[in-house]
Chain A
Amino acid sequence: DIQMTQSPSSLSASIGDRVTITCRASQTISNYLNWYQQKPGQAPKLLIYAASTLQSGVPSRFSGSGSGTDFTLTITSLQPEDFATYYCQQSYRFPNTFGQGTNLEI
């Protein structure tokens, strides 16, 4: 199975900050990488697919980059509603696997 490792596991930031979350795959996955946001008590929400394509309706302050094994999710100018847990997920091979999550808190 492809292991996905996110860092950091938790991150403290302030409104207006720029933050970056990284995700590393245990083997190359090209750009078959998706990012999700999950708030407490809610289902995850798709933010970015194919490493860098913003899902419809997602604010442009979210962006993704990377290819191969190393990927990043960047949020510019943090808003109150962005404090949540973020997960990466590879869709290169079954079983689809997720990172362990990054908890972004104030």
Chain B
Amino acid sequence: QVQLVQSGVEVKKPGSSVKVSCQSSGGSFSDYAFSWMRQAPGQGLEWMGRIIPMADMTKYDQRFQDRVTISADTSRKTAYIEVASLRAEDTAVYYCARVGCSGGHCFFEFWGQGTLVIVSS
């Protein structure tokens, strides 16, 4: 059974950076893409970007491209998202998800439990 386990709660000051991890178990890591989403308190889901670890290929939403870096360590079966220059509006639960595909259609099949990032002075 595939499980994605994310790192714990982070409290950060405005202007600092945060790096959240997502460790995969129970299945292949390199063969799949991993996406990152976030959800501000009481709000909907925003897709931020994704990585294909095997090819080290990334794709970002343009809104986050300047401040977000997604990476992966295949030896640790772990994906990461780093958000720089944090501001209060970045306070959210950050989710990783493994992308599944079938018949050319892709979807977020397995999700991590979420990591709460609080940005506050």
Q: Which residues of A contact B (CB under 8 A)?
A: 31-32, 34, 36, 43-46, 49-50, 53, 55, 87, 89, 91, 94-101
Contact = CB atoms under 8 A, between A and B. Distances in A.
Contacts of B44: 87, 98-101
A98 B105 contact: no
Nearest to B108: A46
A98 B113 CA distance: 19
B103 A50 contact: yes
Binding site secondary structure of chain B: strand
Interface of B: 35, 44-47, 59-62, 95, 97, 102-103, 105-109, 111-114
B6 to A, nearest CB: 9
Contacts of B113: 43
B41 to A, nearest CB: 12
Given A43-B95, A101-B44, A91 B105 contact: yes
Contacts of B103: 50
A46 B114 contact: no
B92 to A, nearest CB: 13
A50 B111 CA distance: 19
B47 A98 contact: yes
Given A50-B105, A95-B61, A96-B35, A43 B111 contact: yes
B102 A95 contact: no
Contact of B107 (A43, A46, A100, A101): A46
13 contacts: A34-B105, A34-B108, A43-B111, A43-B113, A50-B103, A89-B108, A95-B60, A95-B62, A96-B47, A98-B44, A98-B45, A98-B47, A101-B44
A99 B45 CA distance: 8
A10 to B, nearest CB: 13
A45 B111 contact: yes
Contact of B105 (A32, A94, A97): A32
Contacts of B111: 43-45
